[in-house]
Amino acid sequence: MGQSTNAMLMYGYHLGSGDGGWELHGLDEYDGLPALDWYDPEDPDSEDFQGAAEEKLLADLGGFTEEWTSGVEGYWDRKRAAQARVGVEFDTHCSGEYPMYVLAAKVITVNRGDVQEIDPGQDLAVQPDWDAKLRAALDVLGLNPMQEKARWLLCSYWG
In tens, the pLDDT along 36-67 reads 999 988 887 777 899 999 999 999 999 999 98
Mean pLDDT, range 117-128, rounded to an integer: 93
Is pLDDT above 60 for 1?
A: no
Mean pLDDT, range 78-94, rounded to an integer: 95
Count of structural domains, the chain:
1
d(CA 17, CA 20): 5
Beta strand segments in the chain, E:
5-17, 21-22, 89-95, 99-110, 151-158
Q: Are 90 and 108 in contact (CB under 8 A)?
A: no
Q: Over pLDDT 90: what percentage of the chain?
A: 73
Residue 12 Cα distances to 32, 65, 133, 139, angstroms: 22, 25, 10, 14
pTM of the entire predicted model: 0.91
Minimal CA–CA distance to 89: which of 1, 8, 4? 8
At 97 the pLDDT is 85
- At residue 3 the predicted structure's pLDDT band, cuts being 50, 70 and 90, is low
Is pLDDT above 60 for 113?
A: yes
Q: Helix or strand or coil: residue 95?
A: strand
Mean pLDDT taken over the chain: 92
Is pLDDT above 60 for 2?
A: no
Give the domain extent around 93. Answer: 5-158
**Amino acid identity for residue 56 in this structure:** K
**Amino acid identity for residue 99 in this structure:** P
Q: Are 3 and 122 in contact (CB under 8 A)?
A: no
**Amino acid identity for residue 157 in this structure:** Y
List the end-to-end C-alpha distance of the chain, in Å, as a whole number: 11
- 20 or 57, higher pLDDT: 57
- 45 or 129, higher pLDDT: 129
d(CA 51, CA 72): 22
